[in-house]
């Protein structure tokens, strides 16, 4: 009964996912409950605490074995203090989540942003297992990122490290404005949203593409069309891959990670996408900074968040 376990919580707008890990990052048990965002901040906080208790109660472990609780959450945080300045998708403002949960759960609690936590999950127990120095991309609605050095998350002065989606990588002459207000951010071209936008633009201007027959184009449609040989779709996917590869060439001389891990919906395009990214990385990266460096898919899927959150306690 002396084995320690770690609770990882991934707070999303719809569901709160919880995982129990051992000290190796093995996912022992999972639990999921509704966030109930519509019921307001107090209800959300109570749910987080209740689900943490529930997963341990459901498992074969005792609460006394819990070595700590980690939480991943999207929003503007003061990471060291565990303070939520603003979590837009939860409509939570000005709450100290760490203090709240430590009082409720009587164990150490650490809070970090969702992209950092997912990166830590992959680095600790996923695609990067055994690698202390990696850079993770999550290609979803935006492009999320997380940087792991010496096995730990790099948070930055104001928690803004690893915001890889906001690297200004598209040259000014070809750039469009990002949601953040700046021009040419990576996520304007390499996120699902970016891919969909480029596809819709192509259809609207009358490019000859099978995507013109698709109503409500999704990123997967563009990738499937590209794989089937549609030239317009191929150009769009190549552009997404090109700027990812260029951003990795930058990372290689800044951080020289041992591996780049790519997850998120768009990464499901698989080797078709990865080969294009590797080709660009190979072309634009100095020899010493690319030798032996791997660009590989994430392996934990939707569990990266709960595993990484559990890992916060051991890797801080």
Least distance in angstroms from the C-beta of 281 to a second copy = 12
Give the H/E segment covering residue 254.
helix 231-254
Cα–Cα dist 254/262, whole Å:
18
Q: Return the number of the residue (28 or 149) whose C-beta is nearest a second copy.
A: 149
**Residue 312 found at the interface with a second copy (CB under 8 A):** no
**Residue 256 found at the interface with a second copy (CB under 8 A):** yes
Tell me which of 130, 173, 213, 271 binds a second copy, using CB under 8 A.
173
The residue assigned the tokens 């698709």 is: 214
Is the separation of the CB atoms in 311 and 128 below 8 Å? no
Task: Give me the count of residues in the chain.
Answer: 316
Q: In Å, how far from its chain's centre is CA 137?
A: 6
**Residue 291 found at the interface with a second copy (CB under 8 A):** yes
**Residue 49 found at the interface with a second copy (CB under 8 A):** no
| Residue 103, Cβ density class (10 Å: 0-12 exposed, 13-18 middle, ≥19 buried) | exposed
**Residue 114 found at the interface with a second copy (CB under 8 A):** no
**Residue 176 found at the interface with a second copy (CB under 8 A):** no
Site string for a second copy, 72-101 (x = CB under 8 A): ----x-------------------------
Least distance in angstroms from the C-beta of 169 to a second copy = 8
Other beta carbons within 10 angstroms of residue 6's beta carbon come to 26
**Residue 289 found at the interface with a second copy (CB under 8 A):** yes
**Residue 39 found at the interface with a second copy (CB under 8 A):** no
Least distance in angstroms from the C-beta of 134 to a second copy = 9
Q: How far is CA 256 from CA 150, 217, 264, 299, in A?
A: 12, 37, 23, 22
Q: In Å, how far from its chain's centre is CA 5?
A: 23
- Name the maximum alpha-carbon separation found in the chain: 66
Tell me which of 198, 236, 240, 293 binds a second copy, using CB under 8 A.
293
What are 62's two structure tokens? 């005792």
Cα–Cα dist 137/267, whole Å:
9
Is the separation of the CB atoms in 222 and 139 below 8 Å? no
Q: Return the number of the residue (74 or 306) whose C-beta is nearest a second copy.
A: 74
Q: Return the number of the residue (1 or 173) whose C-beta is nearest a second copy.
A: 173
Q: Return the number of the residue (163 or 221) whose C-beta is nearest a second copy.
A: 163
**Residue 258 found at the interface with a second copy (CB under 8 A):** yes
Helix (H/G/I), strand (E/B), else coil: 288: helix
**Residue 180 found at the interface with a second copy (CB under 8 A):** yes
Tell me which of 257, 264, 305, 311 binds a second copy, using CB under 8 A.
257
Cα–Cα dist 202/106, whole Å:
55
Cα–Cα dist 10/201, whole Å:
35
Tell me which of 252, 261, 266, 313 binds a second copy, using CB under 8 A.
252
What are 159's two structure tokens? 């928690």
**Residue 154 found at the interface with a second copy (CB under 8 A):** yes
Tell me which of 119, 232, 249, 313 binds a second copy, using CB under 8 A.
249
Binding region for a second copy (CB under 8 A): 76, 133, 147, 149, 154-164, 166-168, 171-173, 180-182, 246, 249-258, 284-286, 288-289, 291-293
């Amino acid at each position: 009964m002396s084995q320690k376990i770690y609770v990882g919580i991934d707070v999303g707008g719809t569901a709160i996912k919880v995982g129990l890990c051992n000290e190796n990052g093995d996912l022992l048990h999972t639990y999921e409950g509704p966030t109930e965002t519509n019921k307001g901040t107090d209800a959300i906080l109570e749910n987080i605490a209740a689900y943490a208790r529930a997963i341990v109660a459901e498992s074969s472990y005792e609460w006394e074995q819990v070595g700590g609780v980690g939480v991943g959450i999207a929003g503007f945080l003061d990471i060291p203090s565990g303070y939520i300045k603003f979590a837009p998708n939860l409509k939570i403002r000005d709450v100290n989540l760490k203090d709240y949960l430590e009082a409720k759960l009587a164990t150490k609690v650490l809070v970090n942003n969702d992209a950092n936590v997912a990166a830590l999950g992959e680095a600790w127990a996923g695609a990067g297992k055994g690698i202390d120095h990696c850079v993770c991309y999550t290609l979803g609605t935006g492009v999320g990122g997380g940087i792991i050095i010496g096995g730990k998350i790099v948070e930055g002065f104001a928690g803004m490290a690893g915001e890889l989606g906001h690297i200004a990588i598209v040259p000014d002459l070809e750039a469009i404005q990002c949601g953040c207000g700046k021009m040419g951010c990576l996520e304007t071209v390499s996120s699902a949203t970016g891919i969909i936008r480029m596809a819709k633009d192509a259809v609207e201007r009358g490019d000859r593409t099978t995507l013109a027959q698709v109503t409500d184009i999704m990123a997967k449609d563009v990738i499937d069309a590209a794989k089937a040989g549609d030239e317009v779709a191929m150009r769009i996917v190549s552009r997404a891959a090109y700027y990812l590869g260029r951003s990795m060439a930058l990372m290689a001389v800044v951080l020289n990670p041992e591996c780049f891990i790519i997850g998120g919906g768009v990464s499901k395009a698989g080797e078709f996408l990865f080969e294009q990214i590797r080709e660009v990385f190979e072309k634009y990266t100095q020899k010493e900074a690319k030798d032996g460096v791997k660009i590989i898919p994430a392996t934990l899927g939707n569990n990266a968040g709960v595993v990484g959150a559990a890992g916060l306690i051991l890797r801080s």
